[in-house]
C-alpha cells in the first residue's frame, strides 16, 4: 500500500497551534513547524475515497491499446477534467530524469502508440534526442485510475508536425513562436515583446510552422493499468510486448497469472499493488 492509511489529524484542526507565521515563517524553527502542519493537513486530505469503478482483469482485452482507448472514453464520459493531459517522463543520456505534463496529440489504438508534440530544442526534446525512451502516465483521481505506458519514442514526419501545428488556435500558434521553450527568460518585458512579435508573425504568415515543432510517437513496450479500490484491494494489470516480457517480469517480480501470452505478441501479467 503506498498511500497513507494511518491515523490522521483532522483537516484544519490545529493550524493555530502549529505556530505558522502569516508570512510563511520567520524564526529558525518555524519552517519545520510549518512543514509539520502542512503534512498534517495533507495527510488529512481524503484519497481514493470512492465510489470508484470496478475493473475485472479477466475481462480485459488481449492487447492494451483497446483498454487504453476504453479508459480514455470512460474518462471523457465521466467528465474527468483534461483526460488528454498526461505526464511525460524522460531521462538525459547521463540518467538525469525530468517529467512534465503535456497533451495527447494522437493515438493509434492498434499499435498502442500515443503522440505528443513539443519543441525539439526543449529539455524534453534534448532528452529524447539523447535517449529515445520515455514513459507516459495518467492519473484520474475521481476514478482511481492510473495508466503507464513506456517504450521507445520516435519523431513523426514533418507533414504530421505541420498539420498538428496549423490545427491549433492563433493564440496557441503564437505561443509556439514565443521565445525558446526551456530557455532562460530574462524578464516580463522580453516576454511581452516576444509575444507581440509572435502574434504579428502568425497574423502575417498563418501557414508558418516553427522549425523545432515536432510530433513524437511513444510506442508502448509496456502498458500498465491500475484500478484503485476504496478498500485498498487495488488491481494492477501489465501488458508487455512478448519480446520484452521476459525482461519486464524479471525487473518487477510479477506473476503470469492473468492469461499468459495474449494475442498479437502481448503478455498480460498481474502485479502486486
Ligand X SMILES: Cc1cc2nc3c(=O)[nH]c(=O)nc-3n(C[C@H](O)[C@H](O)[C@H](O)COP(=O)(O)O)c2cc1C
- Cα 35 to its chain centre, rounded Å, is 27
Q: Using the rule CB under 6 A, is 160 a contact of ligand X?
A: no
Residue in the structure block whose three cell numbers are 493550524 = 15
CB of 154 to ligand X, least distance (A): 17
Picking from 259, 225, 230, 227, the residue whose alpha carbon sits closest to that of residue 242 is: 259
Under rule CB under 6 A, which residues in 173-192 are in contact with ligand X? Answer: 181-182
Q: Using the rule CB under 6 A, is 171 a contact of ligand X?
A: no
- Considering beta carbons, is residue 103 or 200 the nearer one to ligand X? 103
Grid cell of 13 as nine digits: 484542526
Contact 152, 221 (CB under 8 A): yes
Grid cell of 127 as nine digits: 532528452
The phi-psi region of residue 104 (left if phi > 0; otherwise alpha if psi is between -120 and 50; otherwise beta) is: beta
Q: Using the rule CB under 6 A, is 42 a contact of ligand X?
A: no
Cis-peptide, bond into residue 51, ω within 30° of zero: yes
Q: Using the rule CB under 6 A, is 118 a contact of ligand X?
A: yes
Give the C-alpha distances (Å, rounded to integers) separating 223 from 118, 251, 260: 23, 15, 15
Stretch that binds ligand X, among 31-39, 115-123, 245-253, 262-270 (CB under 6 A): 115-123
CB of 10 to ligand X, least distance (A): 32
- Considering beta carbons, is residue 123 or 208 the nearer one to ligand X? 123
Contact 227, 55 (CB under 8 A): yes
Contact 68, 226 (CB under 8 A): no
Site string for ligand X, 67-106 (x = CB under 6 A): ------------------x------------x-xxxx---
Among 43, 84, 123, 168, binds ligand X (CB under 6 A): 123
- Considering beta carbons, is residue 137 or 182 the nearer one to ligand X? 182
Stretch that binds ligand X, among 56-64, 116-124, 132-140, 189-197 (CB under 6 A): 116-124
The residues that bridge with 155 in the sheet, in sequence order, are 216
Question: Which residues are at the interface with ligand X (CB under 6 A)?
Answer: 85, 98, 100-103, 116-118, 122-124, 181-182
Amino acid at each position: 500500500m503506498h498511500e497513507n492509511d494511518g491515523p490522521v489529524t483532522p483537516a484544519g484542526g490545529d493550524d493555530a497551534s502549529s505556530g505558522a507565521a502569516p508570512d510563511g515563517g520567520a524564526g529558525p524553527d518555524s519552517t519545520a513547524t510549518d512543514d509539520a502542519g502542512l503534512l498534517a493537513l495533507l495527510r488529512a486530505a481524503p484519497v481514493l475515497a470512492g465510489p470508484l469503478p470496478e475493473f475485472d482483469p479477466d475481462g480485459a482485452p488481449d492487447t492494451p491499446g483497446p483498454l487504453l482507448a476504453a479508459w480514455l472514453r470512460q474518462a471523457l464520459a465521466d467528465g474527468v477534467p483534461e483526460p488528454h493531459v498526461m505526464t511525460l517522463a524522460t531521462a538525459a543520456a547521463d540518467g538525469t530524469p525530468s517529467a512534465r505534463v503535456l497533451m495527447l496529440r494522437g493515438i493509434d489504438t492498434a499499435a498502442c502508440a500515443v503522440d505528443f508534440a513539443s519543441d525539439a530544442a526543449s529539455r524534453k526534446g534534448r532528452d529524447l534526442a539523447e535517449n529515445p525512451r520515455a514513459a507516459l502516465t495518467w492519473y484520474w483521481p475521481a476514478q482511481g485510475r492510473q495508466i503507464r505506458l513506456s517504450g521507445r519514442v520516435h519523431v513523426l514526419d514533418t507533414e504530421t508536425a505541420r498539420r498538428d501545428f496549423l490545427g491549433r488556435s492563433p493564440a496557441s500558434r503564437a505561443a509556439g513562436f514565443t521565445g525558446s521553450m526551456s530557455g532562460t527568460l530574462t524578464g516580463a518585458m522580453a516576454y511581452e515583446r516576444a509575444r507581440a512579435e509572435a502574434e504579428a508573425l502568425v497574423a502575417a504568415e498563418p501557414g508558418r510552422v516553427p522549425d523545432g515543432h515536432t510530433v513524437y510517437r511513444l510506442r508502448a513496450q509496456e502498458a500498465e493499468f491500475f484500478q484503485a479500490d476504496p478498500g485498498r484491494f487495488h488491481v494492477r494489470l501489465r501488458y508487455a510486448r512478448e519480446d520484452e516480457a521476459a525482461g519486464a517480469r524479471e525487473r518487477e517480480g510479477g506473476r503470469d497469472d492473468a492469461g499468459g501470452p495474449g494475442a498479437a505478441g502481448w503478455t498480460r501479467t498481474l502485479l502486486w499493488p
